[in-house]
Structure 1
Amino acid sequence: METPAFFSTVFIACLLLSITGYSIYVGFGPPSQDLRDPFEEHED
């Protein structure tokens, strides 16, 4: 269990989970109030 491949796999999995969690937080959490919708701005 102490192979470099195991630690690399765990590191990449944690990295992907943290990026996904941060993206969901920015997209749907409190910071999403500051996002702008370019399609609504140019509504005809």
Structure 2
Amino acid sequence: METTTLFTIFISGLLVSFTGYALYTAFGQPPQQLRDLFEDHGD
């Protein structure tokens, strides 16, 4: 492979991994237990 192709693949991989990391830190882990607030209050 040419150097340009390898460099492009490397930069693309870095971009994808950085985007995934940024999304994970922005939104965090999903909560373990979800509550439905409408069902908690009833009618």
Fold equivalence (TM over 0.5): yes
**Can you list the C-alpha shifts for 1:15-34, whole angstroms capped at 9, x where unaligned?**
0000000000000122xxxx
Unaligned runs of 5+ in 1: 31-44
Higher relative contact order (CA 8 A, sep 6+): 1
Percent identity between the two aligned chains: 41
Unaligned runs of 5+ in 2: 30-43
Q: How many residues matched?
A: 29
The TM-score normalised by the length of structure 1 is 0.62
How well do the aligned residues superpose, as a CA RMSD in angstroms? 0.6
Name the structure with the higher helix share.
1
**Runs of 4+ deviating beyond 6 Å:** none
